[in-house]
Structure 1
Amino acid sequence: MMTSKSTGLVNWIRSGNLITQIIFALIAGIILALVSKPAAQSVSLLGELFVHALKAVAPILVLLLVTASIANHQQGQKVNIRPIVTLYLLSTFFAAVVAVVASYHFPQTLILTDAHSGSEAPKGILAIAQGILLSMVVNPVDALINANYIGILVWAIALGLAFRHSSAATRNLLNDLSSAITWLVAKVIRCAPIGIFGLVASVLGTNGFSALSSYITLLLLLIGCMLIMALVVNPLLVFWKIRRNPYPLVFLCLKESGVTAFFTRSSAANIPVNMAIAERLGLDEDTYSVSIPLGANISMAGASITITVLTLAAVNTLHISIDLPTAIMLSLVASLCACGASGVAGGSLLLIPVACNMFGIPNEVAMQVVAIGFLISVLQDSAETALNSSTDLLFTAAVCQAANASEQQL
């Protein structure tokens, strides 16, 4: 028979504050790595199970959410998607500009050794554009299996439009399926503290804290750019929409969405968290049920920063001089590449060679930069995802609140 203390502990694990639990798990993982590296390495399975579970449920989540939202949209309903998408794209571009300016004032260099022999990357801007177009028309089953979120999004929109002509019972079934997968993802995210404990302990137990020491200034530059976006540029864009102090909304989104996304490292898996917050804020469901899954695919300010900063670090290392027009062109390329990253963990890193190609940097050298990116991805990818996912919620809330204010004035 369980005692009252053990019952309280179980209830706290099942329904306690997730952010508090994640912090406890993070501390516990660090302590275990410091006390015993073999023990820390032995719990890696917990982290791997959590990551694989997120990867398994995220693609079907995006498919069902977008399909159900579009299928149940009624003609004449105003969903305000266009201004939200505009903010997404502006934020992604401005993030690249911030990264260019910061890299100019705080230039970084890399230790380039043997060429990385990992995944192949696109070799030019036309290649990435062609890749995006081809990924839009893949087989839907293939898109789900390979987590091709652009392909999933295209099929979800197409199916949603088709199901708008179906019976009410069919549309209700889609809603039920969407609710079911959302519930399932929420249960997976409740396991985040256990998964994070395994991830942190195993990474630190295997690599130690020295893996990050060689590139601490590079990490600081990346995270600094992301903080500028989160605390300066994004609030300015929000103020442009709501015409009042944006920081209460900004801090709410960073706390409620950004912290969770920082540890799950998946914009797609953080969709249910963002939608639950949107519902609590009283936002228009017809808007956020589409804009938040869409943002997980095209709102990529963090990825834009990563591509730009690491590319310019390679440029500085090779003593390649660039002018302002070239830097602006890099911002455009980085924005396009970031939208092609599609919320996949580490996806922005594999697109770095596209930007490097602008400066004639060989693919072998560019893939060394990718390898360095993976080395620091423990913090870089987490901060990138936190910015991306919290921005999705922030701009959705800003546009919805602006629309409500306009209606009240009429």
Structure 2
Amino acid sequence: MLKEKGLLGNIGVQVVIAMCVGTLVGAMMGQSASLFAPLGSIFIHLIKMLVIPLVAVAIISGAAGLGSSHSAGKVGFATLGFFGFTSAVAVALALFMGEMFEPGMGVDLTGVEGLFSNVYADKGDLPSFWATVLGMIPTNVFQSLNEANILQILVFCLFFGIALSKLEKERRDPLINGVNAIVDAMVWMINVVMKIAPLGVFGLMADAVGTFGFSALMVVFKLFVVYVGAILVYGFVFYPLMIKAFSKTSPMKFLSAMKKPQAVALSTASSMATLPVTMETCEDELGVKNSTAAFVLPLGATINMSGNAIYYGLVAIFFAQMFNIDLGMSAYIAIIVTSTLGAVGQAGVPGPSFLVVAVLLAAGIPIEGLPLLFALDRIFDMIRTALNITGDAACAVIIDDMVSKEADKVSEEVQNA
């Protein structure tokens, strides 16, 4: 019956099943489940092979499409404003839930004191404003492509796409059509790679659960529970409310469509690796125009990290409570500002997040206990990535609705003129 309804042929269903089976196999086999790791590595490598060129041509296509419209400037400012606002709200939610549920109170540190270390003290420096700005401007765009420096690629491709939109129509259209053809070809390649996604997801989950297990969660179990709670509130309450308030899309339709990219995000722990799936979902299931999706989603995969912001805020509260440190208003402000800036600067790839060091140092919180979290960072990362890409999609839906309204307004003005 399932086959007749086509459920088993749905890649999203296959990915969810693969996650469950991989988790079960990892829990049963333990460390030996690492023998399935190459399956996940092959999948991730294929995705990485395609993501950088896809991001480059998609941004050029999106910027060229928006650059010729009357709302280009508004789209850019609205997108950045959305990302900054939602990251700040995410930190505030983390602080509120941290103070309400007190995950760091009464933590039993017996047997784990040996993990404490100051080795991460030199990893907490955030670059200055001007260093950040200069770091975004490529001096050699081919080197940026070679090194996969996403921010530099974004800056150049945005600039280039807008420049294309300013050319005369007869010179502009063939170039933009060519770029769009490349985007379509890249999407075809992504669709082919996604056919092995269930195998890759199985390998990733079996390896992650088998390597780290769930026993290590006991020391920070309450933090993990509060963290998951904050993620669920933000992903299933805050973002749907934003969708309902600022777009015509149904929140239920949005949440239903996001199941597939969320499953991929959970398994890969990478916003960039999930980007092709997020773009496909937004365009095919949520009706977002290609020009909007191609602009907002690659940008969001790079700088929109609300899940990371929640993590930074909760970890700060956790260690402050664990070490019996009373935080004043200045410390809270430092946590919000540093977490928001740190979330924006966090790359959309999996790996230990040392930016939490900057957050702790800014609030005067000891960092010795950080090694307690680093072994579990993959699990935390998987969950926060699912929220990050949900925020990217929410932004795309809202911005696309804004662009449509702007276009309708311009069309109405032209008709009335």
TM-score norm. by structure 1 comes to: 0.84
Say which SS state the counterpart of residue 103 (structure 2) adopts.
coil
Q: Summarize the Cα distance change of 1:52–1:119 in structure 2 as closer, same or farther, 3 Å threshold.
A: farther
Contact 1:212 1:375 in 2 (8 A): no
Contact 1:259 1:386 in 2 (8 A): yes
Q: Which residue of 2 aligns with 1:385?
A: 385
- Provide the C-alpha distance between the structure 1 equivalents of 2:44 and 2:372, rounded to a whole number of angstroms: 22
Q: Which residue of 1 aligns with 2:82?
A: 87
Aligned pair 1:345/2:330, yes or no?
no
Contact 2:269 2:385 in 1 (8 A): yes
| Residues 11-66 of structure 1: per-residue CA shift (max 9 Å, x gap) | 998xx212211222223323433554465222221122223333333223222210
Contact 2:303 2:347 in 1 (8 A): yes
- Provide the C-alpha distance between the structure 2 equivalents of 1:57 and 1:163, rounded to a whole number of angstroms: 23
Aligned pair 1:306/2:311, yes or no?
yes
Q: Which residue of 2 aligns with 1:191?
A: 196
Q: Which residue of 2 aligns with 1:121?
A: 123
Aligned pair 1:47/2:47, yes or no?
no
- What letter is aligned with 2:155? V
| Residues 304-349 of structure 1: per-residue CA shift (max 9 Å, x gap) | 11111112222222322112343133112211110000322236x2
Aligned pair 1:181/2:175, yes or no?
no
- Provide the C-alpha distance between the structure 2 equivalents of 1:131 and 1:191, rounded to a whole number of angstroms: 41
Instruction: Identify which range, 138-147 or 300-309, moves more after superposition.
Output: 138-147
Q: Which residue of 2 aligns with 1:137?
A: 137
- What letter is aligned with 2:382? S
Q: Which residue of 2 aligns with 1:170?
A: 175
- Provide the C-alpha distance between the structure 2 equivalents of 1:72 and 1:245, rounded to a whole number of angstroms: 22
Contact 1:239 1:245 in 2 (8 A): yes
Aligned pair 1:262/2:273, yes or no?
no
| Residues 329-378 of structure 1: per-residue CA shift (max 9 Å, x gap) | 3112211110000322236x22111111213346xx36x52x44432233
Instruction: Identify which range, 351-360 or 95-104, moves more after superposition.
Output: 351-360
Q: Counterparts of 1:323-342 in structure 2 under 5 Å?
A: 323-342=328-347
Aligned pair 1:252/2:256, yes or no?
yes
| Residues 55-94 of structure 1: per-residue CA shift (max 9 Å, x gap) | 3332232222102222354623535523343222211110
Q: Summarize the Cα distance change of 1:101–1:181 in structure 2 as closer, same or farther, 3 Å threshold.
A: same
Contact 1:19 1:259 in 2 (8 A): yes
Within the candidate set 227, 232, 244, 1:227 is matched to: 232
Q: Summarize the Cα distance change of 1:103–1:146 in structure 2 as closer, same or farther, 3 Å threshold.
A: farther
| Residues 158-184 of structure 1: per-residue CA shift (max 9 Å, x gap) | 222344436543333322222222332
Q: Summarize the Cα distance change of 1:233–1:208 in structure 2 as closer, same or farther, 3 Å threshold.
A: closer
- What letter is aligned with 2:316? T
Contact 2:22 2:205 in 1 (8 A): yes
- Provide the C-alpha distance between the structure 1 equivalents of 2:91 and 2:373, rounded to a whole number of angstroms: 17
Q: How many residues align?
A: 392
- What letter is aligned with 1:64? V
- Provide the C-alpha distance between the structure 2 equivalents of 1:342 and 1:135, rounded to a whole number of angstroms: 13
Q: Summarize the Cα distance change of 1:324–1:236 in structure 2 as closer, same or farther, 3 Å threshold.
A: farther
- Provide the C-alpha distance between the structure 2 equivalents of 1:307 and 1:131, rounded to a whole number of angstroms: 22
Q: Summarize the Cα distance change of 1:17–1:338 in structure 2 as closer, same or farther, 3 Å threshold.
A: same
Q: Counterparts of 1:350-389 in structure 2 under 5 Å?
A: 350-361=354-365, 365=367, 368-369=369-370, 371-389=371-389
Q: Which residue of 2 aligns with 1:397?
A: 397
| Residues 131-188 of structure 1: per-residue CA shift (max 9 Å, x gap) | 5324302433443344332222112112223444365433333222222223323333
Aligned pair 1:98/2:99, yes or no?
no
Instruction: Identify which range, 199-208 or 106-115, moves more after superposition.
Output: 106-115
- What letter is aligned with 2:117? A
- Provide the C-alpha distance between the structure 1 equivalents of 2:38 and 2:206, rounded to a whole number of angstroms: 11
TM-score norm. by structure 2 comes to: 0.82
- Provide the C-alpha distance between the structure 1 equivalents of 2:55 and 2:267, rounded to a whole number of angstroms: 20
Contact 1:136 1:154 in 2 (8 A): yes
Say which SS state the counterpart of residue 342 (structure 1) adopts.
coil
User: Which consecutive unaligned segments of at least 5 residues does structure 1 have?
Assistant: 1-7
Q: Which residue of 2 aligns with 1:319?
A: 324
Within the candidate set 60, 68, 93, 1:67 is matched to: 60
Say which SS state the counterpart of residue 191 (structure 1) adopts.
helix
Q: CA deviation at 1:258?
A: 2.3
| Residues 180-209 of structure 1: per-residue CA shift (max 9 Å, x gap) | 223323333332211121122223333433
